[in-house]
Amino acid sequence: MTTTNPTQSLADRAGVRSARLRPAGNTTRAARTRRKWYEIVGLTTPAVVVYTMFVLVPMGFAVYYSLYRWKGVGPPTEFVGWRNYLLAFEDPIFRDALWNNAIILVGSLVFQLPIALGIALLLNRRFRGRAFFRLLVFVPYVLAEVTVGIMWKLVLIRDGSVDAILKALGLGGLVQGWLSDLPLIIWTMLFILTWKYVGFAIILFLAGLSNIPDELTEAASIDGASWWQIQRHVTIPLLGPTIRIWMFLSMIGSLQVFDVLWVVAAPSVRSLGAANTMATYMVDNGFFARLWGYGNAVAVILFVISFVAALLFQRFVLRRDIQGALTGAK
């Protein structure tokens, strides 16, 4: 099992082919190297140009603008250094946003992992209608965020269907201001996000499970292990890399979450800090309060937090998985 860098192997293969086409002895090592570099540059230039134009340059501009007191009228002229960053961390509503991001990040992992794992293990067994159920759990993930938001907003609104169902079941006492009771709203949001994204985790886990050789579980069962023991000691440990990759994606998604909260939560509860995140705070302040410099500072903070979180996770959690994938067995 040799896995090498795809670009490298492609270039190697191209090098070999070009060597064959030319008369033997005419190709120097330098010419081959040059040829290889032409190909690397030719293949990567479009990606590099696009990445630079649409990722790196805007990022540079964001940092630049964040150092100015600028409302988007005329060019930025009033340099204020790190003031916008300080103002952000002094704003209790921004701290609420950070806290809400943390709740969503941890909550997503804590709730989605057991649910997704359980359903994935269940759907990994053979039974009638398995394909249908697999499709069913994936449906929420396929729906557009705004569609999901509007749907849940209609369902959870005062005297909406959730309230009606609870009352019909004689559970009227459980009726809450799902979208208006300030301390409750973030948990309503977490519920919607879990509902929406758990399907993604399930599909990833199912893909991971299908890569676990049957021989291992068969061997375990011949040795007398129960189904639970097999899951606990064989399947889940082998699913580790998939779970860790999912945790990584979930974490980054949680830090950047915007659309569901934007659609479901009223602007008022966002500005009260009950259902805002760094991303909604950025739009509320950058565009709606027309603080373009300040909004850019929030964007940079969001970027740095996501970037550092990603690096730390890769360094400490994903390291083994990545090493395995890149170095392989030589």
Partner 1 sequence: MARPRRIRAAMALIATTTLLLASACKSDEAPAEAELFKNPVTLTWWHNASDAGPGKDYWQKVANDFHGLHPTVTVEIEAIETNQLQRTRIPAALLSNDPPDIFQAWGGGEIIDQVKADYLKDITEATKTEVANIGSATGIWQVEGRQYGLPFRMGIEGFWYNKKLFTQAGITAPPTTLDELKTAVTKLKAANVIPISVGAGDKWPAAHYWYNFALRACSIATLKSAALTLKFDDPCFVKAGQDLQAFIGVQPFQPNFIATVAQQGAGSSAGLVATGKAAMELMGDWNLGVMQTLAGDNWKTMRPDIDWFPFPAIAGAPGDPKASLGGGDGFACSKKAPAECVEFLKYIVSPAVQKGYAEINVGLPVAKGAEAGVSDPTLRTILKATNEASYTQLWLDTAYGSTVGSAMNDAIIAIFAGTGKPDQVVSAMKAAAQK
CB of 27 or CB of 180, closer to partner 1? 180
34 contacts partner 1 (rule: CB under 8 A): no
Give me the amino acid identity at 267.
P
We find the least distance from the C-beta atom of residue 154 to partner 1, in angstroms, to be 8
Residue 181 C-beta: closest distance to partner 1, Å: 8
Among 287, 311, 323, 325, binds partner 1 (CB under 8 A): 287
Binding mask 84-123 for partner 1 (x = CB under 8 A): ---x-----x------------------------------
Q: Give the residue from 268, 265, 300 showing the smallest Cα distance to 286.
A: 300
Q: Which of 182, 207, 216, 308 binds partner 1 (CB under 8 A)?
A: 182
Which of 284, 257, 281 lies closest to 101 in space, CA to CA? 257
The answer to the question of residue 188 lying near partner 1 (CB under 8 A) is no
The partner residues of 78 in beta bridges, in order of sequence, read: 69
Shortest reach from residue 227's CB to partner 1, in Å? 46
Pick one of 14, 32, 39, 69: the residue that binds partner 1 (CB under 8 A). 69
Instruction: Among 272, 305, 317, 322, indicate the residue that binds partner 1 (CB under 8 A).
Output: 272
38 scored as a contact of partner 1 (CB under 8 A):
no
Three-state SS at 327: helix
Query: How many CA atoms within 13 Å lie on the side-chain side of 85?
Result: 13
| Interface with partner 1 (CB under 8 A), residue from 100, 254, 271, 280 | 271
3-state secondary structure of 169: coil
Residues 188/178, Cβ–Cβ less than 8 Å: yes
Give which of 100, 71, 84 is closest to 271, Cα–Cα: 100
Cβ-Cβ contacts under 8 Å for 273 (sequence gap 6 or more):
92, 93, 95, 96, 97, 100
Contact yes or no for 264/195 (Cβ under 8 A):
no
| Structure-token pair, residue 215 | 């021989």
Q: Name the site residues for partner 1 (rule: CB under 8 A).
A: 37, 41, 45, 48-49, 52-53, 56-57, 69, 71-75, 87, 93, 154, 157-160, 177, 179-180, 182, 265-269, 271-272, 284-285, 287-291, 294
